[in-house]
Amino acid sequence: MPRLSLTAASVKRLKPPPKDQVDYFDKGFPGLALRVSYGGGKSFVFFYRIGGKLRRMTLGTYPALSLADAREAWRSARQDATAGRDPARTRRNAKPATDFESVACEWLKRDQTKNRSYREAERIARRDIIPAFGQRPIDEITRRDVLDLIDNIVDRGSPIMARRVLAYVHRLFKWAVGRGIIDSNPAADLPKPGSETKRARILSDDEIIRVWNASVNLGWPFGEAIRLLLLTGARREEIGALQWAEIADRQINLSGSRTKNGDPHIIPLSPEAITIVEGLPRVANSKFVFTTTGNTPISGWSRAKAALDEESDIADTWRIHDLRRTVATGLQRLGFALQVIEAVLGHVSGSRAGVVGIYQRHSFDAEKRAALEAWGAHVLCLCRNG
* pLDDT at residue 5 is higher than 90: yes
Query: Is 385 buried (19+), middle (13-18) or exposed (0-12) by CB count in 10 A?
Result: exposed
Q: How far apart are CA 37 and CA 258, in angstroms?
A: 15
35-46 average pLDDT score: 89
CB atoms near residue 1 (< 10 Å): 8
* pLDDT at residue 357 is higher than 60: no
Q: What's the whole-number average pLDDT of the chain?
A: 88
Q: How far apart are CA 13 and CA 297, in angstroms?
A: 20
Q: Are 214 and 178 in contact (CB under 8 A)?
A: no
pLDDT of residue 356: 42
pLDDT of residue 196: 56
Local structure of 360: helix, strand or coil: coil
80-97 average pLDDT score: 78
pLDDT of residue 95: 52
Q: How far apart are CA 319 and CA 362, in angstroms?
A: 32
Q: Are 258 and 287 in contact (CB under 8 A)?
A: no
3: part of which helix (H) or strand (E)?
strand 3-4
Banded model confidence at residue 158, pLDDT cuts 50, 70, 90: confident
User: What is the secondary structure of 215-238 as a DSSP string?
Assistant: HHHH-TTHHHHHHHHHHH---HHH
- For the stretch 9-34, pLDDT in tens is 999 999 999 888 999 999 999 999 99
- Per DSSP, 353 falls in state S
Domains of the chain, with CATH numbers? 3-94 (3.30.160.390), 100-178 (1.10.150.130), 205-385 (1.10.443.10)
Share of the chain above pLDDT 70, in %: 92
Strand partners, 46: 32, 57
Distances (CA, A) of 168 to 38, 107, 136, 174: 20, 10, 18, 10
Between 40 and 307, where is the model more confident?
A: 307
Share of the chain above pLDDT 90, in %: 56
- For the stretch 322-356, pLDDT in tens is 999 999 999 999 999 999 999 999 986 544 444 34
- For the stretch 188-240, pLDDT in tens is 888 888 655 556 789 999 999 999 999 999 999 999 999 999 999 999 999 99
296-317 average pLDDT score: 86
Contacts of 15-18 with C-beta under 8 Å, sequence gap 24+, read 16/40, 16/41, 17/296, 18/237, 18/240, 18/241, 18/296, 18/297, 18/299
Q: How far apart are CA 235 and CA 355, in angstroms?
A: 26
114-139 average pLDDT score: 89
Distances (CA, A) of 315 to 166, 269, 302, 336, 376: 35, 31, 17, 30, 25
Q: Are 276 and 376 in contact (CB under 8 A)?
A: no
Q: How far apart are CA 280 and CA 219, in angstroms?
A: 11
260 Cβ contact partners less than 8 Å away, ≥ 6 residues apart? 119, 120, 235, 346
36 Cβ contact partners less than 8 Å away, ≥ 6 residues apart? 14, 15, 16, 17, 21, 22, 24, 42
The strand pair at 247-248 and 251-254 is best described as: antiparallel
Q: Are 158 and 152 in contact (CB under 8 A)?
A: no
Residue type, 271: P
pLDDT of residue 355: 38
Q: Are 296 and 17 in contact (CB under 8 A)?
A: yes
Terminus-to-terminus CA distance in the chain, angstroms?
51
233-261 average pLDDT score: 93
Q: How far is CA 293 from the centre of its chain?
A: 21
Q: How far apart are CA 111 and CA 101, in angstroms?
A: 15
* pLDDT at residue 79 is higher than 60: yes
